[in-house]
Structure 1
Amino acid sequence: MNIALWILQVLLAAAFAAHGWMLVSPPPELLAIMNEQLGVGFRIFLGVAEIAGAVGLLLPAMTRKLPWLTPVAAGCLAFVVASATVLHLARSETSAAVTTAILFLLAAFVAYGRWRVRPIASRSGASARTLASSTA
């Protein structure tokens, strides 16, 4: 299960980082369309949030510093793509809605998996447990 969660974390981080970068720095031919549909401020906010979420999926778990941020990041990204799914359904964009629904399921799975099933221990937590067991 741990390996499956890591694979999903890496894949989701790559997908959200790529999409976030596209929102922050879109190709010129898409810029006007994106600004019309989302607005400049919301587009940039969403892009930065997705990039931050991608970093949050990997960095705390890899460094084992504040690893509880990994399921929080996955949960926040799940909320973002659930909202995107509703938006795409309201616009009758079925294929985009299916894609975001799948991303929602994957992000929710990572959030639950890292929160309850296979949480990552922090460095301080691991050393404190080792110290406590060696003195007992």
Structure 2
Amino acid sequence: MVTIGKGLTMHIVHWVLAVLLAVFYGYAGGKKVVQSREQLLPMMGWVDRTPMTVVRVIGVLELAGAAGLILPPLTGIAPWLATAAAAGLSLIQIGGITVHLSRGEAKVIGLNIALLAASVALIWL
């Protein structure tokens, strides 16, 4: 059996979380940037009362966050930006939880909580 050190394990966990979050936010952000309100409504009911400009800005922020999780540590250029990206994505999820709760949609915040936990874990790692 091969043993690996704690540092290497944390490094692997960091990359797995970062890649998973980047894929999720790349997909979700891309949809918000390019799709119409009607196309988004079945998956994101909150867009019914949100100006599309705000939806698009959230999408751009999610895309920037996805890139920020991967590119700085991968290139070694300003790797602290990955922590900033994770913090920004955490704020997006806090906002999402707030919106769902204000709409009486407490049953649907599970994904938001999981994404928030993953982004906070990245900040910690």
TM-score range, shorter chain: 0.7 to 0.9
Give the structure 2 partner of residue 68 of structure 1.
80
Q: Does 1:10 align with 2:22?
A: no
TM-score normalised to the size of structure 2?
0.82
Q: Where in structure 2 are there 5+ consecutive unaligned residues?
A: 1-9
C-alpha distance in structure 2 between counterparts of 1:103 and 1:31, whole Å: 20
Provide Cα deviations, 1:103-127, integer angstroms capped at 9, x if missing partner.
00110110121xxxxxxxxxxxxxx
Q: After the TM superposition, list the runs of 4 or more consecutive aligned residues in structure 1 that deviate by more than 6 angstroms.
A: none
Alignment of 1:43-58 (within 5 A): 43-58=55-70
Alignment of 1:47-126 (within 5 A): 47-113=59-125
Moved more, 64-73 or 37-46: 37-46
Q: How many residues of Structure 1 are paired with residues of Structure 2 in the alignment?
A: 113
Contact 1:34-1:43 at 8 Å conserved across structures: no
1:20 to 16, 21, 29: 29
C-alpha distance in structure 1 between counterparts of 2:15 and 2:107, whole Å: 27
Q: Does 1:29 align with 2:38?
A: yes
AA paired with 2:72?
A: P
What's the C-alpha RMSD, in Å, of the aligned pairs?
A: 1.8
User: Percent of aligned pairs with the same residue?
Assistant: 30
C-alpha distance in structure 1 between counterparts of 2:92 and 2:120, whole Å: 11
TM-score normalised to the size of structure 1?
0.76
C-alpha distance in structure 2 between counterparts of 1:49 and 1:106, whole Å: 17
1:29 CA drift (Å): 3.2
Q: Where in structure 1 are there 5+ consecutive unaligned residues?
A: 114-136
Whichever of the two has the greater Rg, that structure is 1
Provide Cα deviations, 1:72-119, integer angstroms capped at 9, x if missing partner.
100110011111011112212234311101100110110121xxxxxx
1:34 CA drift (Å): 6.5
Distance change (3 Å), C-alpha of 1:65 and 1:29? same
